[in-house]
Chains A and B, each alone.
Chain A
Amino acid sequence: MLEQFFQFLVTGVTVGSLYALVGLGFALIYNASDVVNFAQGEFVMLGAMTAIALLGVGLPLPVAAIAATLAAILVGLLLERFAIEPAQGASVVTTIIITIGAAIFLRGVALLLWGKDFHSLPSFSGDAPIHLGGATVLPQSLWVLGVTMLLVGLVRAFLDRTLLGKALLACSFNRAAAQLVGINVRVMLRLAYGLSAGLGAIAGILIAPITFSSYEAGVMLGLKGFSAAIIGGIGNPMGAVAGGLLLGVLEALGAGLISSGYKDAIAFLFVLMVLFFKPTGLFGHQLVERV
């Protein structure tokens, strides 16, 4: 029983780190612009699919992975420049709708480029499971965990320690004030989109060997990442990470201990409960509306 529990935990943390990375992307863009970017899941898909395609034309895996991440960052920047920026001054809801449109567009392009089939990426370091007590872990899961921790650490350091990161955070607190003290909000917005796209792409590449990828793989991952961001309190990057891990573990425990049929229901019920009892998220700061 304990052994099983441990296995569920391992599964949950692996899947959860993925949600965390996607959730982190949501949080970054939300911080910079108050917009929920519904194309975040598509960045995950783009990263994975581009890496698979590049590997297919004969590039070595590390090169393909880096090139795919750069490609996704480029797409993120283009999206910001040609879809979000022209709509500057539009309401948040309009911008969110633009991101939904962008998501559908990206999915369509991926469908045309790569077809409807699922594609797989080889594992980074073999498929032999590693035994940890009674549980087994795939080497790829360790990659997911390791890289996620590294990226979260880097993002955290970037936001807390660098001027650029602080400027990005400043935008989230008060955009007008940030602009007044000389922060170029437009550049910050581009930075947020580029960073989110890169994080998403890396998540996609890490997970592709375990879960495969297809043109519509981003939909569910995007939804789960969004839930992670909500649980953690949207706009709180580290909250999104915690939310992602929590969501992953809950799902795995739900599937294992209660019923696999209710797995998603349990996860989304939890999101609803959080919204019900703590609308700002578990780690969100209280919103104060000044009248």
Chain B
Amino acid sequence: MKTRFWKSLLATTLLLTGIGIAQAADPIKIGSFLIVTGPASFLGDPELKTLQMVVEDLNAKGGVNGRKLELIHYDTGGNAKDAVSFVKRLIKKDNVDLLIGGTSSGDTLAVIPDVEKEGIPFISLAAAVEITEPTKKWVFKVAPTDRMAVARVLEDLRKRSLTKVALITGDGGFDKSGREQVLKLAPQHGITLVADESYGNKDTDMTAQLTKIRGTNAQAIFNFGFGQAPAIVTKNIKQLGITLPLYHSHGVASRTFIELAGEAAEGARLPAAALVVAEQLPDSDPHKPVLLAYKKQYEAKHGPVSTFGGHGYDSLMIARAALERAGGPDKAKVRDEIEKTQGFIGTAGIFNLSAQDHMGLGSDAFKLVEIRNGAWKIIE
């Protein structure tokens, strides 16, 4: 805050004394608003670290079209109201050329009206389907939607002829959105839900709900949730002597889950981003080198990678390519070029955007993995 004040004071002084800075050396300004503190900070923290790392890296390599990139960042703390005012400030006061951010779907959806009104390219890092459906002129996103994760699980259930499924979900936004997708997609895959239980994400015991599930004729259990709760569900299932196949969401594709659930997690299946299982991909997969390169770069500086940081990488690389093709930060041109992104290999998958599809990821974004001997194994 202080340095910002001094910087603006300096800038004002420079302007007043008529010194000014040459136009050509002006950096391209990228505005970001992420959730770096608070409960969702595990999403926004790696995103910010990645954005800073990639900007530094690109600048060291000479920037974009000979101009340096400048990242202007605000922390929303997960408060959608703050996100809106920060976006207004980024557009009107900081005069940024492009927006990247909106860690949560809530933050993203809240700022869309302003983004559309002001006409500035915006790449969101959040997952909700509603962000790009229906398509909005200035809004793009790089995170795969939960619908794709749900579809991946339902396909596998169908393949194994497990058509009677018990659903158990948490009470967070992620969980609820996932639950809606399951309810919507299950009939299309010929799957009947025989139970629909929920738990609080801070609950410490889910045996009551699972006992109810044990009393149904379910052939498999699908737990859509994240954080520590799914690990407790997994342990409770074991504790109750339930031996049904267990599926989780991509929300638990982290080392922490395996550490917490321990042996009880063996055999559980879940859709995971390719980044998590990068080493296991065949060498012929064009996706592999991108993933390994990002992973190596990030881990050298900050410790274990997360798919969320990967979204930061994807958004910035798409933006860079669009800026290069547009020949400068002209907002309308950059928007058009982002929309024309074809065959870009990012950490989340291969992006092919179009006027109808502002995300551009195919169903290959998620790999179905099984937990075996405390590690993920790709199942195809």
Contacts and interface: CB of A to CB of B under 8 A. Distances in A.
Interface of A: 4, 7-8, 10-11, 14-15, 116-120, 127, 129, 131, 136, 138, 207, 210-212, 214, 219-221, 251-253, 255-256, 260-261, 263-264
Given A129-B241, A136-B239, A211 B232 contact: yes
Which of B202, B204, B235, B262 has most A Cβ within 10 Å? B204
B205 A210 contact: yes
Contact of B228 (A118, A136, A256): A118
A290 to B, nearest CB: 43
Given A120-B262, A263-B200, A263-B203, A256 B211 contact: yes
A8 B228 CA distance: 22
B260 A120 contact: yes
Nearest to A253: B208
A118 B212 contact: no
A255 B241 contact: no
B18 interface: no
A256 B262 contact: no
B204 A211 contact: yes
Nearest to B228: A118
B124 interface: no
B256 A118 contact: yes
A118 B231 CA distance: 10
Contact of A127 (B41, B204, B212, B238): B238
Given A127-B262, A136-B239, A256 B232 contact: no
Contacts of B205: 11, 14-15, 210-211, 252
A221 B203 CA distance: 10
A4 B232 contact: no
Contacts of B199: 255, 260, 263
B208 A129 contact: no
B355 interface: no
Given A129-B239, A212-B228, A261 B198 contact: yes
A119 to B, nearest CB: 8
A214 B228 contact: yes
B211 A7 contact: yes
A110 to B, nearest CB: 15
Contacts of B203: 263
A253 B212 CA distance: 11
B215 A212 contact: no
Nearest to A14: B205
Contacts of B262: 120, 127
B241 A120 contact: no
Contacts of B212: 4, 256
Which of B198, B208, B212, B241 has most A Cβ within 10 Å? B208
Given A127-B263, A127-B264, A212-B232, A11 B227 contact: no
B345 to A, nearest CB: 31
B197 interface: yes
A264 B200 contact: yes
Contacts of A253: 208
Given A118-B228, A220-B202, A256-B208, 17 more contacts: A8-B207, A8-B211, A10-B207, A116-B41, A127-B238, A127-B239, A129-B241, A136-B240, A211-B204, A211-B232, A212-B231, A219-B202, A221-B204, A251-B208, A252-B207, A255-B199, A255-B208
B256 A117 contact: yes
Interface string B189-217: 00000000111101111111101101100
Contacts of B232: 210-212
19 contacts: A4-B211, A4-B214, A8-B207, A8-B211, A11-B205, A14-B205, A116-B41, A118-B228, A127-B238, A127-B239, A127-B263, A129-B240, A129-B241, A136-B240, A210-B204, A210-B232, A211-B204, A256-B208, A263-B208
A212 B262 CA distance: 12
A260 B197 contact: yes
B352 to A, nearest CB: 36
A23 B235 CA distance: 26
A212 B203 CA distance: 11
A167 B211 CA distance: 47
B324 interface: no
A260 B259 CA distance: 26
Contacts of B209: 255-256, 260
A214 B200 CA distance: 16
Contacts of B208: 7-8, 11, 251-253, 255-256, 260, 263
Contacts of B263: 127
Interface string B137-172: 000000000000000000000000000000000010
A255 B200 CA distance: 11
Nearest to A261: B198
A4 B241 contact: no
